[in-house]
Each structure stands twice: as C-alpha cells, then as structure tokens.
Amino acid sequence: MSRQRIFLLIPVAAIVVAAVLGAWGWFFRSIEVVVVRPERDVAFQVFGLGTVEARVTSKVGFKVSGILIDLQTDVRDRVPKGAILARLDAREQMARVDRAKATIEQAEANLQRAIASLEKAQANLANAKRINERRQTLLQSNNTSIETAETAKSTLEVTSAEVNLALGDVAVARASLKDAKGQEQLETVTLDLNTLVSPYDAMVITRQKELGSALAAGEAVFTLIDPQTVWVLAYIDESKAGEIRVGEPAEIVLRSLPGQRFKGRVARIEPEGDRINEERRVQVVFDKIPDDFHLGEQAEVYITAVQIEQAVLVPEAAVLGLTKSRATVWLVSHGRLEQREVSIGHRMLDGRLEILDVPDGASVLSELKDGLRVGRSATIAESKLR
C-alpha cells in the first residue's frame, strides 16, 4: 500500500473510532431521570356534577275555594312560621260563623227552658207524692173516699211521667247545644282556612296567582322552600362512588361563582341510582349556605372519599400498558433502570395514578424519555413533590 493511501485512510479511521466511542458512551453512560417521592396525607376525591336543590319544598294553597283579595308576600321574601301569606274574601263565611253563634245562643236558651220545666215537674212530683201519701193514710182510717185516694195515686203517676219527659227534653236540649257548638267550631275553622299562613320558616320561590283570582280548593298560590335545607344533588359515576360514605367532607363550586369553594359534607346517598347513566345520586349539604343561592344552578362537587396516609402518585403519561388495575412503570433501583408491572390503586382527579407494591428502595419515574433501557445506570435529577 502506498504511503499516500495510508495518509488518506488515517482520517477515516479516526472518524470511525470517534463514532464508535461516542455510541458506546451514549449507550452506556448514566442517564438523568426524574422520579416521584411518596406523598403523605393524600386526599382521594371523587368528582360529580349536580344542581342546587331544596330538600323541603311545598306548594301551598287554600283548602277552600274563593276569591283572592289579599297578597302579603312575593318571590324571594323570607317569612317566619305562621306569617300570613294571603287571604280570600271571607264575608260569606263570617256570616255563617255569626249564624252558628246565634244558634248556640238559641240552644242555650232552649236548654235553660228545659231545665226549668224539669225543675217544675220535679216540684209537682214531690207535691203529688205528699198528697198521695196523705190520701192513702186517710183511706186506711176510712177518713176519705176510695175515689179520692185513686185520684191522688193517678196524679202521682202523671207527674212522674212529666218528670221523665222533662228529663228527655233536657237531654235533647243539651245535645242540640253540643251540635250547635260543633257547627260553630266547624264554621270558625273554615273561616280560618280563608287565611293562608306559612307552615314553617320559609322562602317564597314562586307566586302562581294574583289578586282577584278565583281559586279552587287546593289550588297552589305559592311555592315555598325551607332555606335551611338547601343542598346539592350530585350524580357520581358508579365506578367511583363505592368508597363514598355519609358524613365525608366535600367541596362545592357553583357555576356562578367559579372562584369560590364552599365547604360541605355528604348528607345522604340515595339507594336508587340512575339506571341509564349508571350514576349514584348523592346529596351534599353546605356547612354555610350561600346567602344568594339559586335553585337549579349547576354545581361541581368534590367529595373526599379516602384519606391516604402515604401514596406514590405517578402521571398517567409515565406508565405503560395501563389497564383497569395494572400497569408497567420504569423504576430506579440501586442506581439502575428496570421495568416492573405494578397494581393501580386510586386515580386522582388531576390524572395521577396511585402505584402500589413499589419495591423498597426503588423510585418510580415521573416522566418517560429517550434512552431508557433496562439495566442502564441512572442518576436522579429531581424529585417532584406535588
């Protein structure tokens, strides 16, 4: 080989050697990776959408028919229990009450007359008894005639019958008085039904009727709610609702106030869910009900279902072969990379996954990058604490 060709091959060989050394260095040198560290007191939350509702809602109206002549409240008014809401034209009913009271007075007079008649009959009976006793004694001594004695005896029997008749008249008069009082009480109650009052401390949501309306018995005039029973009816995916329990803390975000989070708690989990959407109905109450609430407003609910003492949480993008309960992750163990199939626990709302059965002394990579290879030396560049 000529010396000229040798000089030409030297640069080429140098390039090849440099490329081999570079590839070897890239392939075997230590790689920097980012891992996650266990977090303590992790709150596993379940998300649901719902609406603001009131547990106690009532449509109220009059139990009697009539013309609406007075309205004393309107929408959004808060009224105490027993407050007057509306009145019907009650003039006809007031006349019935007055008539019933007059009937009572008449019945009382009839009773007094019957009692007086009874007292008179009892006095006549006592006198007839004395006369009869004297006539019978005189008859025994032949000092009076048999006819006179028989007349005295007959008079006694008649007055005794009159007493019994008077007793019956008194009983009838008392029954009539009792009936009159019952009728008066009925008419008075009916008169009271012409006034509509609030059944509890309430807030007026709707007013269905206006002055002058002719109402049928039972027709709704107002819709009321108990403002202390306002809560959120939330719908939770059944696959995430299994760990929710009554009393667990929650946070509520109203659509009209996206920047505020209201504290609350789970008050009720309904036994019947939504069969079509496969959701569970959960009622969440406010710790402090907002002053300006709106029924039917959409709300987001975040329920703390589980408080995890310690957890390894990895972004979903950092796992491979994810299934419902299993996945493959990259680990750094004793300075070397390795892959391991692990169990998946809870899934956080921010997309991170709880990784279970991580070997002691190993750390899970929080992000994937080029150059990961089983057995390769790894240097932990940063620990993400979230």
Q: pLDDT tens for residues 206-230? A: 999 999 999 999 999 999 999 999 9
> For residue 3, what pLDDT is reported?
54
As a whole number, the mean pLDDT across the chain is 88
**Mean per-residue pLDDT, 255-278:** 92
Considering the domain architecture, whether residues 100 and 185 belong to the same structural domain is answered as yes
The long-range contacts involving 132-137, CB below 8 angstroms and separated by at least 24 positions, are 132/156
Considering the domain architecture, whether residues 95 and 85 belong to the same structural domain is answered as no
Instruction: Please give the tally of structural domains in the chain.
Output: 4
Q: pLDDT tens for residues 271-308? A: 998 889 899 999 999 999 998 899 999 999 999 988 88
Q: Is 5 within a domain?
A: no
> For residue 53, what pLDDT is reported?
96
| Host domain of residue 365 | 29-41+311-384
> For residue 23, what pLDDT is reported?
44
Q: Is 250 within a domain?
A: yes
CB of 354 closer than 8 Å to CB of 26: no
Considering the domain architecture, whether residues 354 and 231 belong to the same structural domain is answered as no
Considering the domain architecture, whether residues 218 and 250 belong to the same structural domain is answered as no
Considering the domain architecture, whether residues 237 and 218 belong to the same structural domain is answered as no
Query: What contacts 198, CB < 8 A, 6 or more positions away?
Result: 60, 79, 80, 81, 82, 83, 85, 224
Residue 165 has pLDDT above 50, yes or no: yes
Q: Is 20 within a domain?
A: no
> For residue 128, what pLDDT is reported?
82
Query: What contacts 98, CB < 8 A, 6 or more positions away?
Result: none
Considering the domain architecture, whether residues 219 and 232 belong to the same structural domain is answered as no
Q: Is 16 within a domain?
A: no
Residue 339 has pLDDT above 80, yes or no: yes
- Can you read off the two tokens belonging to residue 256? 């009209």
How much of the chain, in percent, has pLDDT values that exceed 70? 91
Residue 20 has pLDDT above 50, yes or no: no
Q: pLDDT tens for residues 175-197? A: 999 999 999 999 999 999 999 99
Pick from 309, 341, 366: which residue ends a domain? 309
Considering the domain architecture, whether residues 331 and 375 belong to the same structural domain is answered as yes
CA 47-48-53 angle, 5° bins: 140
Q: Is 33 within a domain?
A: yes
> For residue 15, what pLDDT is reported?
59
Per the listing, tokens 């996945």 go with: 327
CATH number at residue 294: 2.40.30.170
Q: Is 244 within a domain?
A: yes
CATH number at residue 83: 2.40.50.100
> For residue 242, what pLDDT is reported?
86
Q: Is 3 within a domain?
A: no
**Mean per-residue pLDDT, 80-104:** 95
CATH number at residue 329: 2.40.420.20
Q: Is 13 within a domain?
A: no
Residue 384 has pLDDT above 80, yes or no: no
